[in-house]
Amino acid sequence: MVSITSTQSLTNALRRSVLDVQTQLSKTQTEVSTGRVADLGLGLGAAIQHVYSYRFHADDLAALTASNDLISTRLSATDTALSSIATTAQNFLQTLVSAQSGGGSDPGIIQGYAETGLKSLISALDTSVDGVRIFGGVNTGVAPVADYFSDPASAPKQAVDQAFFAAFGIAQGDPGAGSITDQQMQDFLSGSFADLFSSSGWSGAWSSATDETATNRISLSQTSETSVSANETALRSLAQVYSMVADLGVQSLSRPAYQQVLQTASATMADAISSLTTLRAKVGLMQKAISDANDSLSAQRDMIATQIGALENVDPYEASTRLNNLTTQLETSYTLTGKIQNLTLSKYI
């Protein structure tokens, strides 16, 4: 049997070989540069389903981490605001105690401190982070607490004015306030005035916040309360103390009635500071929950990255060796192709 092989057939066979080597070389170059299998579908086969599942899981973890980072920023702002509120409250309590003992007891000065404290409290409770009112509960789009000192008169200011007039038949600061007894003032402060800072009174005149606070999913299996409402008892009590001293006309009161205001304010402020400490601890627990969740999410993401890597990653040494071999093979194929193309019978006739 005679087999006839032409120069053209040899050349075509080598060209096909060169194309195949070039394809393998391109894939291998990609694997060397990226460290990953060039064609996941071809390289992994059915195992690619695991890769897709792992990546979906990793995306979910990344989304939770991003959400937690945003929550952490808001909680940090909340903690800062509460810290400022606590410092102001503690300083004002010391002022109240000092005033009762006779030191620095000028009513006008004490009233000025109270006005400053109330303005500071309202400003802190209206704190916004990226457009979100962090003390608004779930109503985060509007300022949770009305500006008491606005013009025209705010709803809480009108409520205090009406309560005082209903109790005494005169407005705050009226010279007739000097006839108000300490017992009458005590009855007012513990009665209709205190009602303004009950849950219903506060929501009716002062606050646009909701009692319900934000709850977020912070891990794959955990949800957590992640905000504080301006409707918290501690915050309402602080507003009660500041407005009590700032806007009941203390400069016009008799000494006994004024002392009754100072005593009630001191007792209420002490309770408020205690409740505020508990509230700050609650925020600290929220921050700790977020931190722990992020640590867990990070560990899970690392584990998934390892699993994906075990499927997708290539041995860099093996890939480099394969690249060198394919490069040598391609160069050899080019050389053979050139030599075969130069073969002609005319050289042997």
**3-class DSSP string for the chain:** CCCCCCHHHHHHHHHHHHHHHHHHHHHHHHHHHHCECCCHHHHHHHHHHHHHHHHHHHHHHHHHHHHHHHHHHHHHHHHHHHHHHHHHHHHHHHHHHHHHCCCCCCHHHHHHHHHHHHHHHHHHHCCEECCEECCECCCCCCCCECCCCCCCCCHHHHHHHHHHHHHHCCCCCCHHHHHCCHHHHHHHHHCHHHHCCCHHHHHHHHECCCCCCCEEEEECCEEEECCCECCCHHHHHHHHHHHHHHCCCHHHCCHHHHHHHHHHHHHHHHHHHHHHHHHHHHHHHHHHHHHHHHHHHHHHHHHHHHHHHHHHECCHHHHHHHHHHHHHHHHHHHHHHHHHHCCCHHHCC
Is residue 120 domain-shared with residue 252, that is, in the same domain?
Answer: yes
For residue 216, count other CB atoms closer than 10 A to its CB.
18
Average pLDDT estimate for 229-238: 97
Is residue 122 domain-shared with residue 159, that is, in the same domain?
Answer: yes
Is residue 275 domain-shared with residue 332, that is, in the same domain?
Answer: no
Residue 59 lies in a domain: yes
Is residue 331 domain-shared with residue 291, that is, in the same domain?
Answer: no
CA-nearest of 237, 236, 235, 244 to 107 is 244
Is residue 263 domain-shared with residue 179, that is, in the same domain?
Answer: yes
Please give the Cα distance from 161 to 59 (Å, whole number). 56
Is residue 284 domain-shared with residue 339, that is, in the same domain?
Answer: no
Q: Are strands 132-133 and 222-225 parallel, antiparallel or unpaired?
A: unpaired
Please state the length of the chain. Answer: 349
Is residue 326 domain-shared with residue 183, that is, in the same domain?
Answer: no
Residue 311 lies in a domain: no
Residue 106 lies in a domain: yes
On the question of pLDDT at 260 being above 80, the answer is: yes
Residue 7 lies in a domain: no
CA-nearest of 79, 84, 111, 82 to 96 is 111
Q: What is the pLDDT of residue 293?
A: 95
How many domains, in total, are found in the chain? 2
Is residue 164 domain-shared with residue 198, that is, in the same domain?
Answer: yes
Q: What is the pLDDT of residue 4?
A: 47
Q: What is the pLDDT of residue 307?
A: 72
Structure tokens at 244: 């009590």
Residue 207 lies in a domain: yes
For the segment 126-169, what is each residue's pLDDT rounded down to a tens digit?
999 999 999 999 999 999 999 999 999 999 999 999 999 999 99
Residue 37 lies in a domain: no
Domain of 181: which CATH number? Answer: 1.20.1330.10
Is residue 203 domain-shared with residue 330, that is, in the same domain?
Answer: no
Is residue 274 domain-shared with residue 184, that is, in the same domain?
Answer: yes
Is residue 326 domain-shared with residue 231, that is, in the same domain?
Answer: no
Range of the domain at 199: 53-303
Residue 29 lies in a domain: no
For the segment 192-220, what is each residue's pLDDT rounded down to a tens digit?
999 999 999 999 999 999 999 999 999 98
pLDDT-derived band at 303, boundaries 50, 70, 90: confident
Residue 237 lies in a domain: yes
Is residue 217 domain-shared with residue 322, that is, in the same domain?
Answer: no
Question: What is the number of alpha carbons within 13 Å of residue 2 lying toward its C-beta?
Answer: 2
